[in-house]
Amino acid sequence: MVRTPRPMRLTADHVALVHRAVPEGEVAAGWRPHTEAEYAAWVARVLAQDPAPGAPLRLFVYGSLIWKPEVAHVDETEALLRGWHRSFCIRLPRFRGTPEFPGLMMAIDRGGSCKGLIFTLEPGDRAAQLDRLFRREMPYLPTNNLPRWVRPLTAAGPVPALAFVMNRASALYTGRQPPEAVADVLARACGHGGTGAEYLLHTTSHLEARGIRDSLLWKLQHLVAERIEAAGPLT
């Protein structure tokens, strides 16, 4: 159910002060797109590990998949995933950042807990749905996000669902950082795919609209708004 959200400090006006046109840079040396065969292998592996192959395909979402879903879903349910927490722990030298000023993207990392949503996907070709998800969440090798079957807790009990979790072996993994350091980056980072401030605004506002209140995101949106106001427009 969508609920009345709290007013946020961070707004679209703040995002506009940070946004600028940035050309799409090349993929860094050592990284490459997955091949068709590699995507097919990922799909086969995840389907073979499915703990409930006869049930609808469910996806645990905690960030941008909430406000920019890749595949259609017919239902969403609030859920708590134990053992994983939201963290801005992926360094972004492109998309929402540049090599000169890398941005940060959120993942779920080990430890703690995370409130999110379970999307029940439309009935259909599971392999095709997974293929679309993997192409979005795992565009390059080495991959930052790894697909993993988890059991988030809902009001009706635990439900098997697929989630994308942080690959700590990735060269872009930053580990845990203080909120102030994260805010410093999100308040300025911009790439060809947009800004860190926009990513934070959309994620926090869509969670708030569903009554899901993440204390870290709420603190970050205050800190980022303050920093943007203090700095003014980028030149």
Residue-level pLDDT, tens digit, the chain, 235 residues? 456 668 899 999 999 999 999 998 788 778 899 999 999 999 999 999 999 988 889 999 999 999 999 999 999 999 999 999 999 999 999 999 999 999 999 999 999 999 999 999 998 899 999 999 999 999 999 899 999 999 999 999 999 999 999 999 999 999 999 999 999 999 999 999 999 999 999 999 999 999 999 999 999 999 999 999 999 766 5
CB within 8 A of 235, min separation 6: which ones? none
pLDDT at 235: 56
Domains in the chain with CATH codes: 12-231 (3.10.490.10)
Record the tokens describing residue 67, joined without a space: 């406000």
Cα distance between residue 140 and residue 223, in whole Å = 31
For residue 194, give Cα distances in angstroms to 17, 20, 157. Answer: 12, 8, 38
